[in-house]
Structure 1
């Protein structure tokens, strides 16, 4: 190569080459030689100014006079070997032009851009005659590679030892190339690119591990790759850590789609003593359009049972979003009860889930939402390998529509449903209508000037609701019987309030309230002497009852502070007391609906209302004229912030978020004047433990059968404030260590994206899946975590036969935790213990192994309706997620 042709790109390469080519144009024929080089470089370097050729192209003939009698015409034509688009190029070292061979070379971190193709290499050569580009890497003095050519076209990116590419045909060949397609990494000895979207690989290695030396791979002799669609290979053999496995697959299909796309959902194998061998999760995902999709899954078992699930999600941004889930289940399991001669027991069940919510921006002032969960009461119990749903005994549904008129009037229509899988009782409330009128001031002037009159602050509001209810047992459903259970009712409330100015620290608020209730039936009970029981008769019709009340309340706030010394870490403790007192009067307008009912053979009687047991409860009888009182407390502490280096910063710590009591005393009652005392408390201890507690104290004594007698047992001197009749206690806490890099886990949770269009039903399903598969949601960055919760409720209730009272207690504890055995091994457990039955109702544990591009999980459920274990080993990549080693077994606890 001639050294005088070598120039430095950094020293005005474009100007020198342009001048040289202009000289060649005038001394050479128009259609030959260096004219082609001229065309190449004006297309190659778009940063240089291009000559104006529009005039020459408009008149394509140039007349040249040879003599007085003849003329010769030459045509100006574009060379066939020129490019059809400009080429941008740069090089850190130099560029070399070889005029005789029409070749151009770039040296030192060379870069070129042509159409949608980008090329980076240590050396790039272009042959204009063949339209071929060659690219090579560089090596250091010891022969090790310093860089390799990088080629990008469309979404395909390759790193190779060498590249040969034809710009005209779009075809090329690369050697020892590394190609990434989505989550798939391909290393091919030879890769032939036949079009912008298709390539053939020879002696290829496929993996989803992004390491230079992958943990696993599949080796195949030939493979075809279609960008963003599919990878198809011939016979392939797996290798782990470079060690081949003598078990291969006849062919491989590797989906490379991006975004949503339809496809088959691979199943998982399982085995159960009650259901037999099975395939779970076999299905198909169908993208219907940009707004709707459909997922179909099926579980098939060898004993003949099956489960079919249809799930569709729909969304239209700024309008609505929702999902519909239909499940049909044919359960056929071994009969372990021995009560029947049949070998298998069969049952059919179904479940319908619908969740819908409309964006408030779609129709301002109106809203529509639905959360429907309706199905067979035994559906949850017959689900296999779902311990959390097996113990869900309640199903609830609601559909709601509301309309608002300028924030003054609101009306809502609701349909509600609830059913109990133990009693198998189903209750339907449809429809339920609610009307609310926001408090308005009828005597207030539109244009207020100065201080208004006292009567201008009188406010009137309204609230009313209309209820229908149907009840039936799903074991003995009959439409006529269901209509016989129809109950309806309505209630109207008209509150009147008056806002008065504060009397110093005391706020005074008078109020008047009128309430009316309508009933669609009344229940009359009487003692059957011959049968020695209470008989019940129901009378349909329209019955009304009404009530009024008058009140005057006063409230204030009292503060107290105790300060510590200057050397103490505690600066002070602040106590806030919020007492309230009110005078109330309620005339007796409901006593005519009460009567004495004999309940046993001894002649004992109780007072009952003819509206007991309806969808709307009765008013309480008796006149009330007395005092209602209560005290609420807040206790907090100010301490020095130890994290602050200056020692001046402080922080507040709440000791008690709220603690108090409330009750009332009826001055007009001849007996039982003092009402029950309601005590409550809530606090967050050490900013970690949430505590909520409450209790109801009855200040009166009882007889030997548990009935109240008019004798106070209240004695504050002995700290005796009554008899405990009901209470509740809830304690919850969560502890977890910092991440391995020392950061707070809460900061990490802030970076988790939240899908604003995910419905509550979808969130619940994801939570159930995470609980059932905890190993797949393990965070190895957090060494350990622990969540504990405890709840206790008890209540003293009247027995169904009126023979006395009994105390029903419910107590349970939930726990969930995990810890790291090593940086790559983690184990955890979750469970539910019922203290009422003294049994561990649910327990599951997991062990998970982090293997970079693979994961192993072991899930064991030794307690529950269905005991099971599952061992799964599969790649993390979504492309090869169905390539798993799975071992699953389940056992019945019946």
Structure 2
């Protein structure tokens, strides 16, 4: 213990010398520490109090010394350095040299070279590369400052004023690569190049570049050059540009949006996409673009965007269009067809965390019915005839027990020109309440305590008009309103073995603001309809009880090497219900032809915003069955002997029907069939059909004649079938679809749809050469029977179409693809678009052709991929409007 104590005392008295390398950065020859007193040889004492020190000599004279005065050649931050060979310090000349893979880092500056020399007196760092008789140049100086990287033969850099001179420099600034014979930095962010070439191609020998004698670069802002000459594969072209301006801004910044040239025999010569982008603040910006054509047509798009994190986000697009098309038909009296139209798109969403319990969202797509027809080079928009909008505010109370929503909705059919406005629509709902359940209970509730009551109320207001004949008075004439109340009562009983039994009671009431009266007019020999406004009510009550269960069956194949088992699940249900006829007074019979022998029954409440209740009493059964079929097979991708996987053969195959026990005729209701399947995880199949067991008369009306008594199964009244699949080869890079197409979570669903729409309209710009081929097929078939307006005849409508979309690689650098839409009813190709593109590393060549459709067009574009040179393009486009 004594020896240990002595050792501690000895170590405490020992004063270690200052590190040798700190002599280069020391402020004075003697370091003065705070609150210390040092005795000199002349018995002069120095007392340091923090910012200054006082000295007293033998005569008592007081001398003040400022301890914060640094040497003029000291650095403002430490330097981290290393070298593989050696480091040499010359104290007299204040120079420090590093040899062999030397590295030095000071603040935001990093330097790698074979040799680095630092002169403290001048604050200049000089770096050189090395040579090797077999390998040539070694460790060329590489300087990284902020986001700027440069590689040179020689670097001389002043650390104090950030000025420097480099020789044979290869500089990377953003997307631009600059090679300069000499490059001079005059500040941290500005530099000049002499005898330079600049490009966006990252190869050592670029595919293309521009050669200029002088260039100035301002980091993260702009690069400006004098006269420049383009070169391709090192071969100069006999053309020149008088000057070059290349924006290097990162992030959002305001600026002009250059146009592209277009030519059309219908619109004339034109400039498309001319505009301006303005950053208003960190949360708001606006884009203005326009098209102008020589025949007098033009269009303007104003698109503000806004986004505030944890608050809201959205965008608005207002498009105004004046179309002037040259009439190609010789029979036309007018030289031009002129149309004025507009379109507005608005999406808005609020972050749920901004105001918990309250939400506001908007999705608006509305405008003139002729707008989509005159949009050029967008076949998808040209055939989009159904538009809809919704603006909704909602609020809930008591942890979601009560919900209120107020919305404004709109839909329009561009073919008919009919626009429907539902302003406002109010919904209020209360979740299921259990009045017999005690407020605080322990254990499992009794069966009667599961009696639940809920409420849903809806207020609807609707106005309709044709945009070609709009007037405010006509709009008020079409105004309708309606109110609906629903009060369902449910009770869940304990399971009865494998069966689940649920009784229910439902009450519904509707309020109407008008009724329709129809009568046959012998003078005009036609059916006349009149509207009678007022306040009318209708009610419906139903009582029911239902039971359902699930039945499982498995068939094993123990000796099979492929299929191990097939599993079948059956889900039957049956229900009994009773509904009295409370709306018989609203159903009337009207003569429908001049013979006086044919009549039709209609509801005076039809045509309203709420619809009508069904006529007659119902007391009977409703039943149905659904099936699930899956197969268990050996997993060939897993080497273990017991590895298996499930394959769904049928996701659902069901049928539902009903029988009315108290009706005097037409007791059976139509049977509904449904099918859902995903074969081999590739082919999606959905189908549905409705079959009526009764026959019809000459007017297509149901009569009390069962078809199965005549040897027929039934009469199909409507049905649909849709088959789709998407096949593609394995990717060369092994990435999944999620890794290949990342989702931007800041975009609203409508904005993501807009991006997908842009990709669909410009497929050649988004070709993935890592996937050799892919194809998507979609087939749909539907038919239905509807009653004609004369209430006499039923009309059968059938529609079917085939959609094909895909691409494949002709060679590793060439890809061809397209999409088409074939309508079997008209036996015509309604739309066809094709593209061919060439992979050129830093360039892209795209050819788009639309030979069939409302607009027939072709477009050839050759441009660099880099964003800063995107407007340096060769573009040739033509489009033709099919009137």
The TM-score, its normalising length taken from structure 2, stands at 0.93
Deviation at 1:78, TM superposition (A): 5.2
The answer for the alignment partner of 2:508 in structure 1 is 515
Q: Describe the shift of the 1:62–1:417 C-alpha distance in structure 2 as closer, same or farther (beyond 3 A).
A: same
The answer for the alignment partner of 1:594 in structure 2 is 587
Deviation at 1:889, TM superposition (A): 0.7
Match of 1:855 among 844, 855, 870: 844
Match of 1:171 among 163, 178, 189: 163
The answer for the alignment partner of 2:347 in structure 1 is 355
The answer for the alignment partner of 2:142 in structure 1 is 150
Deviation at 1:876, TM superposition (A): 0.6
Match of 1:703 among 675, 697, 701: 697
Match of 1:327 among 314, 319, 324: 319
Match of 2:24 among 33, 40, 50: 40
Partner SS state of residue 483, structure 1: helix
Q: Describe the shift of the 1:20–1:627 C-alpha distance in structure 2 as closer, same or farther (beyond 3 A).
A: closer
Work out the CA distance in 2 between the residues paired with 1:845 and 1:73: 87
Residue 579 in structure 1 maps to residue 599 in structure 2: no
Deviation at 1:61, TM superposition (A): 7.3
Aligned residues: 852
Work out the CA distance in 2 between the residues paired with 1:64 and 1:92: 50
Q: Describe the shift of the 1:789–1:62 C-alpha distance in structure 2 as closer, same or farther (beyond 3 A).
A: same
2:395–2:403 Cα contact (<8 Å) kept: yes
Trace 1:745-784 onto structure 2 (pairs within 5 A): 747-750=736-739, 752-784=741-773
Trace 1:669-684 onto structure 2 (pairs within 5 A): 669-684=663-678
Deviation at 1:412, TM superposition (A): 1.1
Alignment gaps of 5+ in structure 2: 1-15, 37-45
Partner SS state of residue 641, structure 2: coil
Residue 435 in structure 1 maps to residue 428 in structure 2: yes
Alignment gaps of 5+ in structure 1: 1-16, 22-36
Match of 1:875 among 835, 839, 864: 864
The answer for the alignment partner of 2:881 in structure 1 is 892
The answer for the alignment partner of 1:11 in structure 2 is none
Match of 1:208 among 181, 200, 212: 200
The answer for the alignment partner of 2:300 in structure 1 is 308
Work out the CA distance in 1 between the residues paired with 2:257 and 2:64: 71
Work out the CA distance in 1 between the residues paired with 2:598 and 2:538: 28
Q: Describe the shift of the 1:398–1:75 C-alpha distance in structure 2 as closer, same or farther (beyond 3 A).
A: closer
Partner SS state of residue 504, structure 1: coil
Q: Describe the shift of the 1:102–1:319 C-alpha distance in structure 2 as closer, same or farther (beyond 3 A).
A: closer
How far does the alpha carbon of each residue in 1:140-186 deviate from its partner, in whole angstroms, 9 at most, with x for none?
12471121111122322211100112223321100011111111111
2:53–2:64 Cα contact (<8 Å) kept: no
Work out the CA distance in 2 between the residues paired with 1:252 and 1:599: 79
Q: Which moved more, 1:119-128 or 1:617-626?
A: 119-128
The answer for the alignment partner of 1:24 in structure 2 is none
Deviation at 1:388, TM superposition (A): 0.8
Work out the CA distance in 1 between the residues paired with 2:61 and 2:874: 89
1:307–1:329 Cα contact (<8 Å) kept: yes
The answer for the alignment partner of 1:33 in structure 2 is none
Residue 471 in structure 1 maps to residue 471 in structure 2: no
Work out the CA distance in 2 between the residues paired with 1:860 and 1:627: 58
How far does the alpha carbon of each residue in 1:545-578 deviate from its partner, in whole angstroms, 9 at most, with x for none?
1111110111111112211132331111111111
1:62–1:75 Cα contact (<8 Å) kept: no
The answer for the alignment partner of 2:11 in structure 1 is none
Residue 489 in structure 1 maps to residue 452 in structure 2: no
Partner SS state of residue 766, structure 1: helix
How far does the alpha carbon of each residue in 1:588-642 deviate from its partner, in whole angstroms, 9 at most, with x for none?
1111111111111232111111111111111111111111110111111111111
The TM-score, its normalising length taken from structure 1, stands at 0.92
Trace 1:223-622 onto structure 2 (pairs within 5 A): 223-338=215-330, 340-405=332-397, 406-450=399-443, 452-602=445-595, 603-622=597-616
Match of 1:794 among 773, 783, 801: 783
The answer for the alignment partner of 2:178 in structure 1 is 186
Q: Describe the shift of the 1:412–1:338 C-alpha distance in structure 2 as closer, same or farther (beyond 3 A).
A: farther
Work out the CA distance in 2 between the residues paired with 1:514 and 1:480: 37
Partner SS state of residue 364, structure 1: coil
Work out the CA distance in 1 between the residues paired with 2:816 and 2:70: 73
The answer for the alignment partner of 1:6 in structure 2 is none
Work out the CA distance in 1 between the residues paired with 2:64 and 2:422: 97
Q: Which moved more, 1:696-705 or 1:172-181?
A: 696-705
Work out the CA distance in 1 between the residues paired with 2:172 and 2:326: 51
2:54–2:62 Cα contact (<8 Å) kept: no
Work out the CA distance in 1 between the residues paired with 2:30 and 2:754: 64
Q: Describe the shift of the 1:412–1:84 C-alpha distance in structure 2 as closer, same or farther (beyond 3 A).
A: closer
Work out the CA distance in 2 between the residues paired with 1:20 and 1:439: 80
Residue 137 in structure 1 maps to residue 129 in structure 2: yes
Match of 2:832 among 811, 821, 843: 843
Q: Describe the shift of the 1:473–1:650 C-alpha distance in structure 2 as closer, same or farther (beyond 3 A).
A: same
Partner SS state of residue 468, structure 2: helix
How far does the alpha carbon of each residue in 1:272-294 deviate from its partner, in whole angstroms, 9 at most, with x for none?
11111111111111111111110
Work out the CA distance in 2 between the residues paired with 1:73 and 1:646: 87
Work out the CA distance in 2 between the residues paired with 1:756 and 1:750: 14
Deviation at 1:760, TM superposition (A): 2.4
Q: Describe the shift of the 1:92–1:608 C-alpha distance in structure 2 as closer, same or farther (beyond 3 A).
A: same
1:154–1:196 Cα contact (<8 Å) kept: no
Q: Which moved more, 1:677-686 or 1:442-451?
A: 442-451
Residue 820 in structure 1 maps to residue 809 in structure 2: yes
Cα RMSD (Å) of the superposition?
Answer: 2.3
The answer for the alignment partner of 1:30 in structure 2 is none
Deviation at 1:338, TM superposition (A): 4.5
Q: Describe the shift of the 1:156–1:307 C-alpha distance in structure 2 as closer, same or farther (beyond 3 A).
A: same
Trace 1:651-666 onto structure 2 (pairs within 5 A): 651-666=645-660
Partner SS state of residue 257, structure 1: coil
The answer for the alignment partner of 2:627 in structure 1 is 633
